[in-house]
Structure 1
Amino acid sequence: METSKIKNRIRDNIEHGNERILRIINAIIETEEKEVPQLPKEILDERWKHHQENPEEGKTWEEVKSVLQKKYGV
């Protein structure tokens, strides 16, 4: 999709006060404003290995999504 069309869609949602969309956009802006620390490759490799050896310890996408919805109201 062209940038101008994306801007128009966002502008329309902002102007019409779509609260859900406004919260999502705000969460994205807040995330972008924060400096996100980068994990060293060694730590990522270690965590990946642990996940491969213990996949049952992870969470499903539905569990993750539910936590995010409760936390951010989106």
Structure 2
Amino acid sequence: MDSTLEIRKRIHNFIDEADERILRIFNAIIEAEEEDSELETSEYPQVPDYVYDRIEEEREKYLKGESKTSSWEEVKARLMDKL
């Protein structure tokens, strides 16, 4: 398996020789990555680790049969009663 450094060198060499079509493909990949990272930091707040920890705790309780569950109809009825 190639190291990151080897991969970088190979890509740099390839780009130096690439035609316009390949350069446009690379550019589209870069733009997509930049858009994804902008979305991650701006539109979607980061979920703290303790939330995932709590979800995992509740999941474990459910799998062991230690937590009460409700059907969709029961949940819906409770919500309708609150309205």
Q: TM-score, normalised by structure 2?
A: 0.36
Q: TM-score, normalised by structure 1?
A: 0.39
Larger-Rg structure: 2
Q: Which structure's relative contact order is higher, taking Cα pairs within 8 Å and 6+ residues apart?
A: 1
